[in-house]
Amino acid sequence: MIRKFITHVFGRKTPVRSGEAATLSAQKHGICRDDISSGSRRVVETLQQQGHRAYVVGGAVRDLLAGLSPKDYDVATSATPEQVRHCFRRSRLIGRRFQIVHVLMGSETIEVTTFRGHHDQQSSPKAQTDTQGRVLRDNVFGSQIEDAARRDFTVNALYYDPVAETIIDYHHGVADLKQKTLRMIGDPKTRYREDPVRMLRAVRLATKLGLSIDPEASRPIRELAILIENVPPSRLFDEMLKLLTSGYAVKCVQQLRVEGLHHGLLPMLDVILEQPLGERFVMLALEKTDQRVREGKPISPGFLFATLLWHEVLSKWESIKAGGERPTPALFLAMDNVLDLQAEKLAITRRVASDIKDIWALQPRFEQRSGKRPYTILEQPRFKAGYDFLLLRAESGEVPAELAQWWTEFMNNDSETRAAMLLPVKPNEAKKRRRRKRTPTASASE
């Protein structure tokens, strides 16, 4: 069956723009086999020893050529998924539509994909696209030349062979990278229609690599931006998460604006950019996130989403309080309201949602600087994240800088200085607390 597919694909005229592949010396372009991860190298070597063709492909080759260190490694091969499984004991098949093999090498997971066929009317009849041209099925094995043609940008269609130490370049990707151009393979309009996420990828990759998007590829974006609405939310979410944790979130978000990709399409971006009050706060948060990513520090999705949605919570909180609700229950209602609204669109997991709530719920408590309360707050498991969040609020001008300063000193000082820092209990506060102690039904949580 598979052979029939391959023969079918081999047999027809391929719709590839550039014909011949250039085989380049990898060393001349500054890549040697020690630069790639040991796992990906072993996977390629093993597949080749078993008589298959195999290469490191895509983002890893591009990043190495650009002098960046790759996040992960993909391998493309002529071997079918079953054949790949036979070569590696620690491997598993994933994906139903188009099977990919995950090969485990030590702590690394290498994604191994069989060369895929190109989409044209023959291999991809109308039934496999939606009415806008979005490809719904993508499950045809193909030749290497076709595999290259179905990749999105020329710089992403490079194949590195660590055994021969060569780079196979079908679409002048190496030259484009040198000229700092992100060029689409094929007709950009068709390619965006097939998969609108490519518009977001264009912005993210151009920003990350310091490339300019070729005018041919950037021109149709404004007109086609609306197609992003058809993309399943979970996929959009994954792409947004990649963008926000790329280390270039601020630049990416600015560039999305330039390309007209922010408006009305992505719930999260609307949240970020459509509220002037929150914009400064969110931009500061993204700057900090970028800094952490570049320093190799981990990013907490909970913290990130807590910042993105905070000003939504603030305005909801205000309106619930204005309706007569007391501050604390009003905050919890506002938190649930915002999270319920966003959770589906953003595919926020329960764990992340609970982190977000912990961070938000701590914020009004930071106002409490008398009696035993500050000590209780210090012991909260999410104190550090809540405190970092408070610093951002102070920096953005939402709360007085003095409040953040007080907490910085309080957490860093010895017990004697801490005690001296406590603010006097306000007379009406003291009365309230006494009353609460006498009433058995009152909550003693604070």
Interface contacts to ligand ATP, rule CB under 6 A: 58-59, 71, 74, 151-152, 156, 195, 197-198, 201, 242
Question: In angstroms, how far is CA 108 from the centroid of its own chain?
Answer: 20
Choose the contact partner of 152 out of ligand ATP, Mg ion, none; CB within 5 to 8 A by kind: ligand ATP
Taking CB within 5 to 8 Å according to partner kind, which of Mg ion, ligand ATP, none is near residue 161? none
For residues 33 and 201, which CB has a smaller minimum distance to ligand ATP in the complex? 201
Rank residues 74 and 259 by Cβ distance to ligand ATP and give the closer one.
Answer: 74
- The reply to whether 355 belongs to the active site is no
Q: What, of Mg ion, ligand ATP, none, does residue 374 touch, CB below 5 to 8 Å by kind? A: none
Q: Is 72 a catalytic residue?
A: yes
- Please pick, among 35, 63, 72, 138, the residue that the annotation labels catalytic: 72
Rounded to an integer, what is the distance from CA 130 to the centroid of its chain?
26
Which helix (H) or strand (E) segment holds residue 235: the answer is helix 233-244
In our burial notation (b when 16+ CB lie closer than 10 A, e otherwise), range 229-265 reads eebeeeebbebbbebbbbbbbbbbbbbbeebebbeeb
Q: How many CB atoms lie under 10 A from the CB of residue 228?
A: 18
Give the one entry of Mg ion, ligand ATP, none that residue 48 binds, where binding means its C-beta sits below a cut-off of 5 to 8 angstroms depending on kind.
Answer: none
The question of whether 152 is a catalytic residue gets the answer yes
- For 65-114, the DSSP string reads HTTPPPS--EEEESS-HHHHHHH-SSEEEE-SSS-EEEEEETTEEEEEEE
- 192 φ, ψ to 5°? -70, -35
Tell me how far, at minimum, the Cβ of 176 lies from ligand ATP, in Å: 13
Binding-residue pattern over the window 56 to 85 for Mg ion, x denoting contact by CB under 5 A: ---x--------------------------
Residue nearest to ligand ATP (CB): 59
Window 40-59: residues binding Mg ion (CB under 5 A): 59
Residue of 147, 152, 214, 290 marked catalytic: 152
Whole-Å CA distances, 230 to 58, 113, 163, 224, 233: 26, 26, 42, 11, 9
Closest distance of CB 231 from ligand ATP, Å = 10
Catalytic residues: 72, 74, 152
Interaction site with Mg ion (CB under 5 A): 59
